[in-house]
Amino acid sequence: MRFDSRHRTWADSDRFIPRTFVQPLVRFTRIEAASGLVLLAATAVALVWANSPWSDGYRQLFEETRVVLELGPIHIDESLAHFINDGLMAIFFFVVGLEIKRELVVGELRDPRAAALPVVAAVGGMVIPALVYVALTTGTGPEASAGWAVPMATDIAFAVGIVALLGSRVPAGAKLFLLALAIADDLGAILVIAVFYTSDLSAGWLAIAAALLVAIAFGQRIGIRSMLFYGSAAVAVWFAMLESGVHATIAGVALGLLTPARAFYSSEEFEGKARDILDTYPLGASPEDDEKSDYEAELLSAIATESIPPLNRLENRLLPWTSYLIVPLFALANAGVDFRGVDPAELIASPVAVGVAMGLLVGKTVGISLFTWLAVRSGLGRLPGGSTWRHIVGLGALGGIGFTVSLFITNLAFADEQLADVARTGILVGSLLAGVVGSLILIRATPSNGETPS
């Protein structure tokens, strides 16, 4: 069939702006590791900006700029940094919830043994790093010990990005294992935030959030399909969770897990309904035919849309925004550690920095590898297809790339900004070392010819 150039969109055209800017950007976003590269760039910008002569502007932008929103009874007045951390990142965790739901319902994690392995590994990747941190900060006081959960989380974008760059050196099953593990321990870290880093809990607001979640689930049961209903309810859940004292990102995860993973119409139903519409589609040119054809086209479009699971539709729409805007904005707002005037020797000797870095590098590697071994030995799980224990150790090290949720917990754990900066330094150093060590182990585990070493 010959391509009709009249059907090309502006973005696909040969004009200067689409050809020079839009199309290269689209090609970049299709690279699996692209989101990790954008996140790395945002982190670098934050560090350079915070240590430049314009560092005051950095602080003023994120700490003094106010975001004021009013929507009926909802009133929000937060700094830009808090709005990003509490508001925009809830969308990120909503996408995380969607990914978990998809894997549990229609993905490979439907197999209980396949699902058990990354979950058990994630538990090890949370418990052991916390114990390493506690051991290294014992006797330093309650302020320092409050950061025990900082090295518990794995950054999905960075870890999966590195695995994508390694390509065929990492088996497909191992990639899925890492993704599931990263999601599981991020969820675990969020639950830790809810339980251990919630100071003023409002039972009333928490009950409202729970009631709204029940209302959303009931709406799905009775067949409500209006995005206006679900969107309004989702905003209300987020606000109620925010006011309850529990971190608002938990609302995103809960909403993601509630999103239907099945389409409203099966493939057979879609085909039947589409054929019925097309069989009666008017081909005339009268005003009556035009009006009817518009109606039939809209009906066909609605049926086609509802033949795609809501989970897939939402994930496809939101993933580019979270990967290339929201998470990089979070990094830009939170990774700006000011190293000026800091003695490197004192920083390296700081129990908090060492505890975080070693928790990420050593604790994650040991915890993930050990608990995976225990799960396999006990028969609770089985190694991912094509993977060896070298791959598991390498993935365990990559699990030590803690960034997004680790920075979240740092903001909550340390009231002293200087101590928080020390912890952020530990996150950056530990994550860098974990990325390098994990990559080297995985490269050694599978040579470039794809053959697993014996």
Q: How confident is the model at residue 28 (pLDDT cuts 50, 70, 90)?
A: very low
Residue 143 · residue 355 · CB < 8 Å: no
pLDDT > 70: percent of the chain: 84
Give the model's pLDDT for residue 364. Answer: 96
Which sequence spans correspond to the domains of the chain? Answer: 33-104+111-197+333-445, 268-303
Contact 364, 122 (CB under 8 A): no
Q: Is the Cβ–Cβ distance between 185 and 399 less than 8 Å?
A: yes
Separation of alpha carbons 133 and 443, rounded Å: 29
Instruction: Report pLDDT digits (tens) over 407-440.
Output: 878 988 888 888 888 898 899 899 999 999 999 9
pLDDT at position 292 = 65
The CATH H-level (homologous superfamily) assignment of domain 33-104+111-197+333-445 is: Na+/H+ antiporter like domain (1.20.1530.10)
d(CA 156, CA 186): 9
Q: Which residue has the tokens 């950095």?
A: 58
- The pLDDT value recorded for residue 448 is 52
Per-residue pLDDT tens digits for 335-384: 887 777 667 777 777 899 999 999 999 999 999 999 999 999 998 888 88
- Report pTM: 0.76
**Tokens in use for 377?**
């030995």
Model pLDDT for residues 294-330, shown as the tens digit of each residue: 667 777 777 777 778 888 888 888 888 888 888 889 8
Residue 1, Cβ neighbours under 10 Å: how many?
3
Q: What is the pLDDT of residue 444?
A: 86
Give the largest CA-CA distance in the chain: 86
Q: What is the mean pLDDT of residues 253-277?
A: 79
2-11, 233-242, 338-347: segment of lowest average pLDDT: 2-11
74-79 and 66-71 beta bridge pairing: antiparallel
Q: What is the 3-state secondary structure (H, E, C) of the chain?
A: CCCCHHHCCHHHCCCHHHHHHHHHHHHHHCCCCHHHHHHHHHHHHHHHHHCCCCHHHHHHHHHHCEEEEEECCEEEEEEHHHHHHHHHHHHHHHHHHHHHHHHHHCCHHHCHHHHHHHHHHHHHHHHHHHHHHHHHHCCCCHHHHCCCCHHHCCCHHHHHHHHHHHHHHCCHHHHHHHHHHHHHHHHHHHHHHHHHCCCCCCHHHHHHHHHHHHHHHHHHHCCCCCHHHHHHHHHHHHHHHHHHCCCCHHHHHHHHHHCCCCCCCCHHHHHHHHHHHHHCCCCCCCHHHHHHHHHHHHHHHHHHHHCCCHHHHHHHHHHHHHHHHHHHHHHHHHCCCCCCCCCHHHHHHCHHHHHHHHHHHHHHHHHHHHHHHHHHHCCCCCCCCCCCHHHHHHHHHHCCCCCHHHHHHHHHHCCCHHHHHHHHHHHHHHHHHHHHHHHHHHHHHCCCCCCCCC
pLDDT for the residue 17: 57
Q: Identify the band that residue 29 occupies on the pLDDT scale cut at 50, 70 and 90.
A: very low
Q: What is the mean pLDDT of residues 203-211?
A: 90
| pLDDT for 384 | 82
Q: Which whole number is the average pLDDT over 67-73?
A: 79
215, 54 Cβ separation under 8 angstroms: no
pLDDT for the residue numbered 436: 93
430 closest CA partner among 155, 21, 86, 188: 155
CA 251/CA 257 separation, integer angstroms: 10
Averaged pLDDT score across all residues of the chain: 81
pLDDT recorded at residue 6: 42
Q: What is the pLDDT of residue 12?
A: 62
Cα(371)–Cα(358) distance, integer angstroms = 18
